[in-house]
Structure 1
Amino acid sequence: MSKEYVVIPMGDPAGIGPEIVVKSLNKSTAYNDANLVVVGDRNILKKAAEIDKIDIKINPIKDLADGDYRPGIINLIDLHNVEMSTFEYGKVQAQCGQAAYDYIKESHRLCIEGGAAAMTTTTINKEALKAAGINTLGHTDILSSLTDVKDPLTMFQVHKLRVFFYSKHVSLRKACDLITKEGIKNYIHRMVDALHTMGVDKPHVAVAGLNPHCGEHGLFGDEEVKYITPAVEEVKSEGVDVTGPIGADSVFYQALHGRYDGVLSLYHDQGHIATKTVDPDLTVSFTHNLPYLRTSVDHGTAFDIAGKGIAREVSLDEAIRLAAKYASAFKYSQA
């Protein structure tokens, strides 16, 4: 069986993205499960290799079929869009924000038109994007705009724990206001569909509680009574294997140990804390409902250590591994 192509936008040149790309693609296992293509800038990757003291070949290509897919080789779509005379590590720079956006846009094109089945993203900086005149909250919003998918589904995976997010980059007050019965029902169905695509035959899912002790029947908040429990009961009557709401102080631990195939987190930090406490290095972000699979590292640009050769590539290794594992299923389920 032929390997799928996974495309990797290099990320903000001033961050650790280029360094972890070089480290990951130099490993003997890099191409075991997929053909990897990087979209970025040759000069920046060459500099990253020098910093990391890695002897890796950079192979500029025009099309995915031109690549030489072996460890120690970076098959690169070179956009050549960083002016090295003004480039600095660890600084917010408009040119780097624009470059990072361009890498994502070209990676998207390769997934839509060029034959790539999945995208694995590294790190971008929101301030750099803003300096370049790109008003976005990050990768998910960029990909949402490029694909016309208005509400992509975000999932984090670490070990056996899969966490889906009802809301993401909104205030805690607004996250509470967004809770509705129909909204909860919709997200339960969406997470079950996503798990089916990932090969989970009969998903057993859970919904986390919003309030302490799930509100204690209205004593500490009434969202569970008014919206969450009715939503769970209605979806259950439709044949979905769903449990909840379950207190957030226990449901993630239970899922980590196999009781549930997925958990719906009701706001950003609830699920982020749960997954990153388990293992921040191996937590991988998935974006579902796009025309292709997208996985991502779950850390930032780390401007404080960029250019020092000490960035760890473990999260990128895992994001690439999972993209390779699931790429075919997503490609053909959404074709």
Structure 2
Amino acid sequence: MPDLPIIGITMGDPASIGPEIAVKALLNKDIYDTCKPLLVGDARVFEDIIDRLGLAATINAIENVAEAQFQFGVIDVYDLKNVDMDKLEFGQISAMAGAASFEAVKTVIDLAMAGEIEATVTGPINKKSINEAGHHFAGHTEIYAHYTGTKKYAMLLVEDNIKVIHVSTHVSLRQACDLVKKERILEVVQLLHNGMKQLGETNMKIGIAGLNPHAGDSGLFGTEEAEEIEPAVEEARRLGFEVEGPVPPDTMFAKAAMGSYGGVVAMYHDQGHIPFKLSGFKWNAEKQQMDSVKGVNITMGLPIIRTSVDHGTAFEIAGKGVASPDAMVLAIESAVQLSKYKVKEKESV
């Protein structure tokens, strides 16, 4: 175990499924064969989940990383003691829950920046609760960028053959159209290429989506393709990247799902998220619950490793014991893979 990376995992919003999926993920013994997992949040929240669901685990509440046992069946929690359990209500937006989830994120960032842990994994947060607590960020990606001083970054989603990075994310659709610029497209192509290498992808071909229907159809439905996307594609080729585009998005994602691309570039949030979630989210109509929720969110461009589940807080099922830990397990596995690449990269220097 001494050579295994320490992975800091945030609880997410304590009123959400975050604590539940974190605990369930660490009941998978295989996790302990690949890393040293450390939960970050309020130990009492995790203890409540274990008692509520009757899970076979105990909590080791600690105040510094050196106190962790990293032993299967004993879940180490970097205890922030920041949740009032008498006021905590599952499925409810609150400033208290927002403050607690934000502090967990800030703590893992600090631990990673200080070199005490090798990677970070985040559970789902509620943006309204975070903002009610006075932390005015659009999401995890922006929090990480702010506290690491990162200017060039992007969201990369990974599920099976779908690896999609975004030119823009948490802005209005009107703003998203205005942000489709040659320089930004080239930036995310580079970030995607780096992410594909770090994840061990062998197919380095990148598909670049159009913004408009039919990728503009030679200017009939918009000019962004001719003015910004095509020049970016040409420059990317000149720089040595294997790229194709602008490709009509409905065609591009179908080809990506079949393995034609190692990764793809989406022009805005929903253009990338919808096909990604169609691939990873599986609903059981008979049971009226999710059979599986898969997919990993990786923030590229940071000086530290950050992966995350790519689903929300699921307030409607919080505390009921039915949440799937699949995405959390995959997020931890991706963090381990990225940690290994980082070690190899250092050793080769």
- Is 1:311 equivalent to 2:312 in the alignment? no
- Is 1:157 equivalent to 2:158 in the alignment? yes
Structure 2 residue matching 1:218: 3-state secondary structure = coil
CA deviation after TM superposition for structure 1 residue 184, in Å: 1.9
- AA in 1 matched with 2:100: A
Cα distance per residue 1:216-248 (max 9 Å; x no partner): 100111111122112211221222211111111
TM-score normalised to the size of structure 1?
0.95
CA deviation after TM superposition for structure 1 residue 331, in Å: 5.8
Runs of 4+ in structure 1 deviating by more than 6 angstroms, as ranges, are none
Distance (Å, rounded) in 1 between the aligned partners of 2:70 and 2:22: 15
- AA in 2 matched with 1:106: T
Q: Relative to structure 1, is the Cα distance of residues 186 and 87 closer, same or farther in structure 2, using a 3 angstrom cutoff? A: closer
Moved more, 187-196 or 118-127: 187-196
User: Given that residues 195 and 203 in structure 1 are in contact (C-alpha distance below 8 angstroms), is that contact kept between their aligned partners in structure 2?
Assistant: yes
Distance (Å, rounded) in 2 between the aligned partners of 1:184 and 1:169: 16
User: Given that residues 91 and 318 in structure 2 are in contact (C-alpha distance below 8 angstroms), is that contact kept between their aligned partners in structure 1?
Assistant: yes
Distance (Å, rounded) in 2 between the aligned partners of 1:124 and 1:89: 13
Q: 2:336 aligns with which of 297, 307, 324?
A: 324
Distance (Å, rounded) in 2 between the aligned partners of 1:300 and 1:164: 19
Cα distance per residue 1:237-267 (max 9 Å; x no partner): 2222111111111212212222211100001
CA deviation after TM superposition for structure 1 residue 101, in Å: 0.9
Partner of 1:221: 222
Cα distance per residue 1:152-180 (max 9 Å; x no partner): 22100001221010000111121111112
CA deviation after TM superposition for structure 1 residue 332, in Å: 6.3
Cα distance per residue 1:131-162 (max 9 Å; x no partner): 21111111111111110112422100001221
User: Given that residues 19 and 52 in structure 1 are in contact (C-alpha distance below 8 angstroms), is that contact kept between their aligned partners in structure 2?
Assistant: no
Moved more, 36-45 or 105-114: 105-114
Partner of 1:73: 74
Distance (Å, rounded) in 1 between the aligned partners of 2:280 and 2:195: 23
Distance (Å, rounded) in 2 between the aligned partners of 1:272 and 1:219: 26
Partner of 1:167: 168
Q: Relative to structure 1, is the Cα distance of residues 4 and 163 closer, same or farther in structure 2, using a 3 angstrom cutoff? A: same
- AA in 2 matched with 1:45: F
User: Which stretches in structure 1 are left out of the alignment for 5+ residues?
Assistant: none
User: Given that residues 99 and 133 in structure 2 are in contact (C-alpha distance below 8 angstroms), is that contact kept between their aligned partners in structure 1?
Assistant: yes
CA deviation after TM superposition for structure 1 residue 115, in Å: 2.4
CA deviation after TM superposition for structure 1 residue 286, in Å: 0.5
Distance (Å, rounded) in 1 between the aligned partners of 2:329 and 2:197: 24
- AA in 1 matched with 2:87: T
Partner of 1:31: 32
Distance (Å, rounded) in 1 between the aligned partners of 2:325 and 2:226: 44
Distance (Å, rounded) in 2 between the aligned partners of 1:184 and 1:81: 41
User: Given that residues 152 and 289 in structure 1 are in contact (C-alpha distance below 8 angstroms), is that contact kept between their aligned partners in structure 2?
Assistant: yes
Partner of 2:300: 288
Partner of 1:257: 258
Distance (Å, rounded) in 1 between the aligned partners of 2:20 and 2:232: 46
Distance (Å, rounded) in 2 between the aligned partners of 1:185 and 1:197: 19
Aligned residue pairs: how many?
Answer: 335
User: Given that residues 19 and 311 in structure 1 are in contact (C-alpha distance below 8 angstroms), is that contact kept between their aligned partners in structure 2?
Assistant: yes
TM-score normalised to the size of structure 2?
0.91
Partner of 1:53: 54
Distance (Å, rounded) in 1 between the aligned partners of 2:343 and 2:149: 17
User: Which stretches in structure 2 are left out of the alignment for 5+ residues?
Assistant: 282-292
Structure 1 residue matching 2:315: 3-state secondary structure = coil
User: Given that residues 153 and 191 in structure 2 are in contact (C-alpha distance below 8 angstroms), is that contact kept between their aligned partners in structure 1?
Assistant: no
Partner of 2:267: 266
Q: Percent identity?
A: 38
User: Given that residues 25 and 73 in structure 1 are in contact (C-alpha distance below 8 angstroms), is that contact kept between their aligned partners in structure 2?
Assistant: no
Distance (Å, rounded) in 1 between the aligned partners of 2:41 and 2:191: 33
Q: Relative to structure 1, is the Cα distance of residues 30 and 193 closer, same or farther in structure 2, using a 3 angstrom cutoff? A: closer
Equivalence map 1:189-208=2 (5 Å): 189-200=190-201, 203-208=204-209
Structure 2 residue matching 1:321: 3-state secondary structure = helix
Q: Relative to structure 1, is the Cα distance of residues 154 and 330 closer, same or farther in structure 2, using a 3 angstrom cutoff? A: farther
Distance (Å, rounded) in 2 between the aligned partners of 1:322 and 1:187: 20
User: Given that residues 199 and 337 in structure 2 are in contact (C-alpha distance below 8 angstroms), is that contact kept between their aligned partners in structure 1?
Assistant: no
- Is 1:181 equivalent to 2:193 in the alignment? no
Distance (Å, rounded) in 2 between the aligned partners of 1:181 and 1:94: 40
CA deviation after TM superposition for structure 1 residue 100, in Å: 0.6
- AA in 1 matched with 2:341: A
CA deviation after TM superposition for structure 1 residue 303, in Å: 1.4
Q: Relative to structure 1, is the Cα distance of residues 320 and 179 closer, same or farther in structure 2, using a 3 angstrom cutoff? A: same
Distance (Å, rounded) in 1 between the aligned partners of 2:191 and 2:310: 22
Distance (Å, rounded) in 2 between the aligned partners of 1:288 and 1:331: 17
